[in-house]
Amino acid sequence: MARGRLPPLALAYHGVAPVRVRDDPSLLFVPPADVARHIGRLRAWGYRLLPFGAFARRVRADGGHGFAALTFDDGFVDNLEALAPLLAREDAPATVFVPTGWLGRTHPYAPQTRVMTADEVRDLHARGVEIGAHTHSHPDLTGLGYDAALGELRRGRDELETLLGVPVDTLAYPYGRATDETRAAARQAGFAAACRTCGEGDWDDPLDIPRQDMTNASTMLGLRLKRDDRYERLVRRLPFRAARAARRRLLAMAAR
Q: Find the DSSP H helices in 127-166.
A: 146-164
d(CA 43, CA 193): 24
- Full set of structural domains in the chain with CATH: 3-218 (3.20.20.370)
Q: What local confidence, expressed as pLDDT, does residue 230 receive? A: 86
Whole-prediction pTM value? 0.91
d(CA 7, CA 34): 22
Strand partners, 29: 15
Specify the amino acid at residue 172: A
Residue 48 CA from chain centroid, whole number: 17
Q: What local confidence, expressed as pLDDT, does residue 242 receive? A: 57
Ranges of the chain with pLDDT below 70: 1-4, 237-256
Report CA torsion sign: 134, 136, 142, 146: negative
d(CA 103, CA 50): 26
